Amino acid sequence: MSMVIAGAMLMAVFFTAMLSGIFGMAGGLILLWLLFLLMPVATAIAVQGIIQIVANGSRAWFSRHYIDWKILAITTSGLVVAALALVLINYKPNLVAASIAIGLLPILIWIPNHWLALDASKPHHAFAAGIISGALNLGAGASGPTVDMFFIRTMMDRRTVIATKAAIQVLSHAFKIAFYWSAASSLGQTEWLAVLIAVPFSIFGTSAGKFLLERMTDVHFRRWTRYVVTAIGLFYLGRAILVLL
HEC secondary structure over 104-129: HHHHHHHCCCCCCCCCCCCHHHHHHH
Please tell me the pTM assigned to this model: 0.75
For residue 151, the model assigns a pLDDT of 80
- Residues 56, 169 contacting (CB under 8 angstroms): yes
pLDDT tens for each residue of 94-105:
888 888 888 887
Above 80 in pLDDT, residue 73?
yes
Q: How many CB atoms are located within 10 Å of the residue 86 CB?
A: 16
Q: Tell me, what DSSP letter sits at residue 141?
A: S
Confidence of residue 69 (pLDDT cuts 50, 70, 90): very high
Cite the DSSP H helix spans in the chain.
3-23, 27-38, 41-62, 69-88, 95-104, 123-140, 144-149, 158-179, 181-184, 189-213, 218-244
Checking if the pLDDT of 145 tops 60, the result is yes
Handedness of CA 233, 239, 244, 245 (dihedral sign): positive
In this prediction, residues 169-178 reach a mean pLDDT of 90
Burial class (CB in 10 A: 0-12, 13-18, 19+), 114: exposed
Q: Which of the 8 DSSP states describes residue 65? A: G
CA 95 to chain centre: 17
CA-based torsion, 91, 96, 98, 100: positive or negative: negative
How far apart CA 149 and CA 31 sit, in angstroms, is: 21
